[in-house]
Amino acid sequence: MIQLHEPQHMVTRFAPSPTGRLHLGHGWSALMAWDMARAAGGAFRLRIEDIDGTRSRPEHVAGIVEDLRWLGIEWEGEIVFQSQRLAQYDAALERLKAMALLYPCFCTRADIAASASAPHGPEGAVYPGTCRGLSAGERARRIAAGDAHAWRIDMARAVAGAGGLAWEALAFPFTAGARAKPVAARPLLAGDVVLARKDAPASYHLSCTLDDAAMGVTHVLRGDDLRAATDIHRLVQALLGLPSPIYVHHQLLVGADGRRLAKRDGSIALADLRAQGADPLRLAADLRAARFPIGISLAKA
Ligand code: GLU
């Protein structure tokens, strides 16, 4: 019998962390993801990555919603808040623990920085593996004593089990009919990354991967700075049996000094532009045409 399949319904998303107001680069990225979904007759969704209790602020959530609405962006369905999905993260962590792929890490940042042997990977310093060799007894003793700990993945072991992996990439800017190409994932370069933080119930890598799957995201559009993270996300998908979306990484916006725009230097917040009386329709049209204010440009690919 011939099985007829519905054409896949495209779902894209924007997933800001509410640690500040959105800047021009966020607005541009969100518009690109929204347009991509609309051009395909698909859906665009919004997720707030608010599990970092020390940096996330409710007023920034309200600000993000206000900024996106001002730009004219509309999302489908309810906003997904990571802070409401902790049980799902926990369940995934338990599965990975049962697979003996995670270990508790008691190191402080200072311990790691002090380790002369720490090599550098695409995501920064690679964890030197200090706690990987602790005995089961020592781990249990320290956990029982209430020692603060993160949970790291034993990357070599996980990669050995998962085998060679690739993720599908579409080039940005995408052209109609472009075909996704496989990119070999190299999660080993990142070392034993954290999947559950000391100060948060999950890490970005775990929560983002689980949420994209739960939200039915088929296409992830995000900045080039998260390319290396995609290798890790692909591995987590393989370990947990999750579908792998197609990834589109775009260049980041940089200022006149060549440095990427960041919330911390207060660079061109959408809220400031609004306060200055900017016309959002015009701004959205300029962003779509990659016409940025003086001094701001796309980083060289
Ligand atoms: N929350 C992340 C950020 O604001 C984005 C994560 C993603 O798009 O995968 O940088």
Q: For residue range 192-213, what is the model confidence (pLDDT) as tens digits?
A: 999 999 988 999 999 999 999 9
**What pTM was computed for the model?**
0.93
Provide the H-helix boundaries in 153-263.
155-162, 204-214, 227-240
Which atom of ligand 1 lies closest to the CA of 229?
9
Grouped pLDDT means (10 residues each) for the chain, 301 residues: 59 96 95 96 97 91 97 97 97 98 95 75 84 97 98 98 97 87 97 95 96 98 96 98 97 88 73 94 96 89 70
φ/ψ bin of 37: left (φ > 0), alpha (ψ from -120 to 50), beta (otherwise): alpha
pLDDT for residue 113: 82
State in Å: Cα 208 to ligand 1 middle.
8
pLDDT for residue 142: 98
Q: Whose CA is nearest to atom 4 of ligand 1?
A: 16
The DSSP bridge pattern shows strands 297-298 and 166-169 to be unpaired
Q: Can you tell me the distance from the alpha carbon of 101 to that of 95, in angstroms, rounded to the nearest whole number?
A: 9
SS3 219: strand
Which atom of ligand 1 lies closest to the CA of 49?
1
pLDDT for residue 40: 92
Cα 147 off chain centre by: 28
Q: What is the DSSP letter of 117?
A: T
Please say whether the beta carbons of 141 and 104 come within 8 A. Answer: no
Q: Can you tell me the distance from the alpha carbon of 208 to that of 80, in angstroms, rounded to the nearest whole number?
A: 11
Q: Ligand 1 pocket check: which of 22, 44, 226, 261 to mutate, most ligand atoms within 8 Å of Cβ? A: 226
How many of the other CB atoms lie within 10 Å of CB of 92?
21
State in Å: Cα 23 to ligand 1 middle.
13
pLDDT for residue 263: 63
Q: Can you tell me the distance from the alpha carbon of 15 to that of 22, in angstroms, rounded to the nearest whole number?
A: 11
